[in-house]
A and B are shown apart, each in its own frame.
Chain A
Amino acid sequence: MSELAAIVDRAATLFEDLHFSVAREWKAAAPGRKVIGYMPIYVPRELIHAAGMLPLGIVGGGDQLEVIHGDAYYQSYICRIPRSTVELGVSGRLDFVDGMLFPSICDVIRNLSGMWKLMYPNVYSRYFDLPQNYRDDIGGNYYARELAELRDALGALRGAPVTDEEIRRSIAVYNENRTLVRQLYDYRIAQPWQAPAAEVYLLMRAGLVLSVEQHSELLREYLAAVQSTERPRRDNCRVVLTGVFCEQPPLNLIKSLELAGCYVVDDDLLLVTRWLTADVPADGDPLQNLALAFLHHSESTAAKYEPSQKEKGQHLVRAVHRSKAEGVIFASPSFCDPALLDRPMLQHALSEAGIPYVSFKYAENSGQMQPIREQAGTFADSIKLWSGQ
């Protein structure tokens, strides 16, 4: 097996392992270690890391998990991710997790935070609110105090306060990771045939279960290996994939897009891995720095309020231009209010900018890829036709 294949294989193994063996091993490697789970879209992993704990990203069960108990917790008209997350919990797959964070993304995750409290009263769990006001002295102060509360809670969990110095060190470690993630995304923009979407996805998924140091190492190895490999270039069009920020599409869906003729050159998958779009200063007041980074240098997504009508959807237009994409694929989980309510506004912004798009829905356990492949294929053909004129 080539070095590149071995790296991808390792990431694929991590992806398939719904018992989170690597996180269990990390925890067992030293006494007193703790693991803090978190849901999409963003939590300040730096604080968890600073407390000496492992942040573990949980994004449902995908298409490999048979949901046996989870359906008894949710009506049919609610998306899949909460029920498969409950399944992970009820089936004991998260029994090593010492705490859970539920960031502010939608009512479903919000309510799941309360369900977790009812179901696991002895596990630390917290709904983690994010500010919707972006003034430094209003949303910024509020958020810095929320961060301080989280820091105190993590300190209490480990039995010693988390110091500013520890957080600064963790910020630096995550800055390094952010740089590598950006490099990978930039590399894909430059040569998408070299870094297929499914591989990039698996690498980012690995960042949800590995320690940040291990993840950075993996990214470095991948970037080195892929650059020394020549891969065939197809006549694909270039697309931005959007709407996939919470419940994850099946890996096959991502693969199908490329098979259907679309290179994914940007996406909003696993946003936590690049939520902060610039490095966070590693000196000064670390909580203030994290708060300001959230306010002024973070991704736009449906869970965040956009204060300016003129700006609405422009992040997507910019993503298209930055990645030299020719179109946008909207894929959203069925029953996902944030993604589906946002969609028409984003589509209007694209139309005004003359950017073509196509839309469909999925569930994390969708099996049938044929219709999606056909739609994406037709879209790719139309783009080629259009750009050929």
Chain B
Amino acid sequence: MATTKDGLVSALRTPTGAISTLMVAALIVLAVVAPYIWADEAARVDIPGLLEGSSSDHPLGTDNLGRDLFARLLVATRLSLTLAVLAVAVGACVGVPLGALPTVLGRRGGRAIASFIDFSLAFPSILLVIFLGVVLGVGAHAAVLAIGLSAAPSFARLTQTLAASVASSDYVAAAKVLGVPRWRILARHVLPNVAEPIILNVTLAVGFALLAMSGLSFIGLGVQAPSYDWGRLLNEALGRIYVHPETALGPAAAVVIAGLAFNSLGEALAAAASTRPAAVPRRLLREQKTPHPASVSSAVGADAAPGPALVVEDLTVSFPSRFGVITPVRGISFALSKGELLGVVGESASGKSLTALALAQLVPYPGRVSATRLEIDGHDLRTMPTTARKRLLGTSLAMVFQDPGTSLNPALRVGRQIAEVGEVHGGLGRRAAMRQAVERLRGVRMSSPARRARQYPHELSGGMRQRAMIAMGLMAEPKVVVADEPTSALDVTVQQQILQLLRKVRDDTGASAILISHDIAVVAQFCDRVLVMYAGRIVEDVEAGALHTGPAHPYTRALLASIPDMSTDRTQPLATIAGRPPDASAIPDGCAFAPRCDFATDRCREDRPDLAAVDSTWQRVACWYPRTGPVAAQNTPELVGQ
């Protein structure tokens, strides 16, 4: 999470942010110094020169006592801003505690406060200001109170919403379990974590309060003579608007400019707060174009037996970041035979999911994908025109994501969404597409498919939604199904059913599948071949059956040894791997696993091993010192580190 400081800095970098900051700063300086410089001039009565229009001495003319209006305008900055800030302070001081109360009070008290906030929000705030202004009486104090009180409900609602989400977080739950008193939870846990958006809102509110204050003064409810703010000046000048319009324009312009300055500063801060990782220097985006040195074993895929369904060579995905270009996928190459079930395993930040996204050309902006070869079913994706590529991807490649809850549109019936694929890519009519959709739902063994097709995604369970996603992928008879953690959100018994379903799809249609998972046991059981990824590279390419008999890379072996399974010796501690995977922004030069590896030498730390065949088999490993033999029985000291 970035700090407020980062947010401020990036807010200042945008043109709006920079200009509004400068304007607000200028206004504050003016408010401080103007009364010292121009107070005398603003108060000097000059009876012969009363009610004059614009002149070189008096740029905005004079008032009914001959006082210089420009000087009065500048001097009024202090009072106008002070009253606006005071009003917001009143609003925040009433609203924020009110909004925070529901998190402190019990269920019933909280509900009462929430209803009160709802109730007070129902009043239009400008009417409330005028009503309160009239009730509280005429004058600056009353106006400040009126505006403050009318701003309070929106502060209360904002605080309430933000505080509610923080209050449901696990760290607040942990504090409750420890018995931390409620007021302390509020002060230490809730308020610091909601402060940032509330402060942003304060800035916005100052702009609003300034307008409202000027409005009240203008209609005579606010500041009273002999004091004056911009609204009062506007009020006094109104009578002469047809004779000397400049006298009224001055204060009007001041109100508008100040209001705009605070509003746009608030907007800029809010924008900066909501898009934290933004503000990437252009320079970094351009640097990307330098091609990566090819480091591919050329034998890849060329002779894969029945013609590969997918060939990937030197696939690289990189993102610009504050730390320079980071490259989470670093030149990976593999080929997928027709009908093959390929597993990709790795920990977080290994690049496995980005690899899947890159295959489907779904890497989000500003990520960049490059490859020396990227072919689906013999068609090169890189050289194709965009429309043809989209069509090919739409028909030949099916993606199944981890969370079936978010990958289906909640507002559309399941059948409609599936049928749409047939209409767009299969050129089917509405009826025929729907018939095919129901057929596909039956194919993925959905119970009563016709009824399910008429239901909305939220009416289906997680497993059924995942089936629906697979059915959608099958509409276009894909050559390759890419499934990224398709069962991680599901339960083991359902997981097994979904994996069996993917197998059945392969058997029925001859499609290949790539299963991406963090769970090496799932992958080993489901797939024919497994790619093990570490820090953006493939470190081992091994037949699934050989995973437990002879993995060659120390990482694969350590990973297998560290995961408990149903035969792990319960009397011994689990083997662990010291350290943690490297951050994508700081991947070591040599073998990325070397710092955690028990067998690493200086060679490993300096010189990165390429993926190369082990002995005469087609198992490939990126290691200078590949191991042989079965992984030692679980939790023996072979790899116990730390």
Answer whether A and B are interacting partners. Answer: no
Taking beta carbons and an 8 Å cutoff, which residues of A are in contact with B?
Answer: none
Enumerate chain B interface residues (CB-CB to A < 8 A): none
